Amino acid sequence: MFKCEEVELEEGSPCPQPDCSGHMEVAPSKNCSCHISPPCGSCVDAGYVCDTCKWESSDREEPEWEPPVIHRREKDSCRNQFTSTAVDNPFNSTPFTVCCRIAAISTDRCPNCGAQITHHDDGLAARRREVGPNNCLMCGKKRGNPAIAGNCHC
């Protein structure tokens, strides 16, 4: 059941709009993702629509995407400071500065605040050196036909 301005709506109930003789039906969902994980929020919160005047119980609008807020520092405030870079996860090779969380590729200073970068995290490069060239990053065995003994089965 869906409560709208003190009027309880459910499938088959009369339309709350004046001078309308229609009945409420379940509204079609927008951006349904039930194929991933049913029931999805879009279907659960679909609301109701009148079969005659097409009035909807929920005038829902898709929320606008807002970029994450990055707190900008004064350019000269960190000029004499030191920072390093880190990758988001071991499978990502894009280094982000620790100070401002901004991508810093092929530079020795933070693009935002100007702090000097003293160490770059290279993601999987350390694991590649550990297992050797052309070997599997998970098990360290040689890549190739898995039917041959000693080759990767991952």
DSSP output for 48-100? EEETTT--BS----PPPP-PPP--PPPTTTTTT-EEEEE-SSTT----EETTT
pTM equals 0.35
What is the C-alpha to C-alpha distance for residues 111 and 131, in angstroms, rounded to an integer? 34
pLDDT at residue 66, as a whole number: 63
What is the C-alpha to C-alpha distance for residues 58 and 41, in angstroms, rounded to an integer? 14
Most confident listed range (20-24, 43-47, 119-123)? 20-24
- The model's pLDDT over 54-63, given as tens digits with 9 standing for 90+, comes to 888 765 455 5
**Domain boundary assignment for the chain:** 1-60, 72-142
Reply yes or no on whether the pLDDT at 100 is more than 50: yes
Closest CA to 85 of 48, 112, 57, 55: 112
Other C-beta atoms lying within 10 Å of the C-beta of residue 48: 24
With b for 16 or more beta-carbon neighbours within 10 A and e for fewer, the 99-118 pattern comes to bbeeebeeeeebebbbbebe
Which band of pLDDT confidence, cut at 50, 70 and 90, is reported for residue 67? low
Reply yes or no on whether the pLDDT at 77 is more than 60: no
Question: Is the pLDDT higher at 78 or at 150?
Answer: 150
Residue carrying the six token digits 């993702």 = 33
Which element (helix H / strand E) includes 129? helix 125-131
